[in-house]
């Protein structure tokens, strides 16, 4: 009897492993931290695995156009996933907003950035980091902020452009730029600034950074891809996302 029960358990375990799949996920750099935790929780909850690659949303778009093997895109904007739906690169109707990102002006130096962002006009700095506005939505938002403040032309010569928001944060963290526009999620954990000084950019200074996830055509038959998109909407995933300063 005991032997039969053990054989049954082993059979069920093997069946679960056989059903488990891996999804190839392209994730915007600003969401790397939350996604790392979500991928672990996702595997524990579903048995499926998420193989995560991070980078600029615009770069991923170009790669997917050229047959990159991604099955889900977790983007930093809503326009790229929408365009991919119309171009046949993503499954129509699968797109939804998983988070609304927040932009911050950050310096690794405590006290360098004031809470109102006046450092942009009055501060003495040689370099201002931002992500490439052509490929990174947070970079485009930074340009929009500076334009609305009337500071774009004055500060443009000081720009140091990162390929994505992760590289931009590194420029500031290493001191190659005294300050820079990055994602709030990169310097906030559990509602607290992890170091340095920051100005939380008012939402009125740029268009909302609506971040959409979408099922790519290569993933339409992958159970793990479908499960991941569903899991991003779950309460455990939302709790992780919220802890990094995102809103919904």
Q: Measured between alpha carbons, how far apart are the two ends of the chain, in Å? A: 52
pLDDT of residue 215: 98
Q: What is the pLDDT of residues 207-241, one digit of tens each?
A: 999 999 999 999 999 999 999 999 999 999 999 99
Query: CB-based contacts of 50: which residues, under 8 Å, 6+ apart?
Result: 22, 23, 25, 35, 38, 39, 42, 43, 224, 228
Q: Average pLDDT of 60-73?
A: 98
- Rounded CA separation 132/138 (Å): 8
SS3 167: helix
Q: What are phi and psi of 247, to 5 degrees?
A: -120, 180
Backbone torsion region of residue 215, taken as left when φ is above 0, otherwise alpha when ψ lies between -120 and 50, otherwise beta: beta
Q: Which of the four pLDDT bands, split at 50, 70 and 90, describes residue 123?
A: confident
Average pLDDT over residues 185-198: 93
What's the confidence (pLDDT) of residue 246?
A: 96
- 146 and 201 in contact (C-beta within 8 Å)? no
Pick the CATH number of 2-100+210-243 from 3.40.50.1370, 3.40.50.2300, 3.40.190.10, 1.25.60.10: 3.40.190.10
This prediction's pTM: 0.88
Q: What pLDDT is recorded for position 78?
A: 97
Mean pLDDT of 23-30: 97
Fold agreement between 2-100+210-243 and 103-200:
yes
Q: How far apart are CA 211 and CA 49, in angstroms?
A: 22
Residue 171 has what pLDDT? 98
Q: Would you kindly state where each structural domain of the chain is located, as residue ranges?
A: 2-100+210-243, 103-200
pLDDT tops 50 at residue 10: no
CATH, range 103-200: 3.40.190.10
């Amino acid at each position: 009897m005991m032997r039969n029960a053990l054989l049954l358990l082993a059979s069920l375990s093997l069946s679960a492993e056989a059903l488990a799949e891996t999804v190839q996920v392209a994730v915007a750099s600003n969401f790397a931290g939350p996604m790392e935790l979500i991928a672990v929780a996702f595997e524990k909850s579903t048995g499926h695995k998420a193989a995560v690659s991070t980078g600029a949303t615009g770069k991923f778009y170009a790669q997917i156009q050229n047959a990159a093997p991604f099955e889900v895109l977790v983007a930093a904007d809503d326009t790229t996933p929408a365009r991919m739906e119309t171009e046949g690169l993503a499954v129509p109707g699968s797109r939804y907003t998983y988070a609304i990102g927040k932009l911050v002006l950050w310096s690794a130096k405590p006290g360098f950035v004031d809470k109102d962002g006046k450092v942009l006009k009055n501060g003495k700095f040689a370099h201002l980091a931002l992500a490439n506005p052509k490929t990174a939505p947070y970079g485009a938002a930074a340009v929009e902020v500076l334009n609305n403040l009337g500071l774009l032309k004055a500060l443009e010569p000081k720009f140091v452009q990162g390929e994505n928001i992760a590289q931009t944060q590194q420029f500031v963290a290493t001191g190659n730029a005294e300050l820079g526009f990055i994602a709030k999620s990169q310097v906030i954990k559990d509602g607290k600034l992890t170091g340095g000084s920051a100005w939380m950019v008012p939402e009125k200074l740029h268009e909302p950074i609506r971040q959409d996830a979408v099922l790519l055509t290569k993933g339409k038959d992958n159970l793990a891809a479908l499960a991941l998109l569903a899991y991003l909407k779950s309460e455990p995933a939302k709790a992780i996302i919220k802890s990094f300063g995102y809103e919904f």
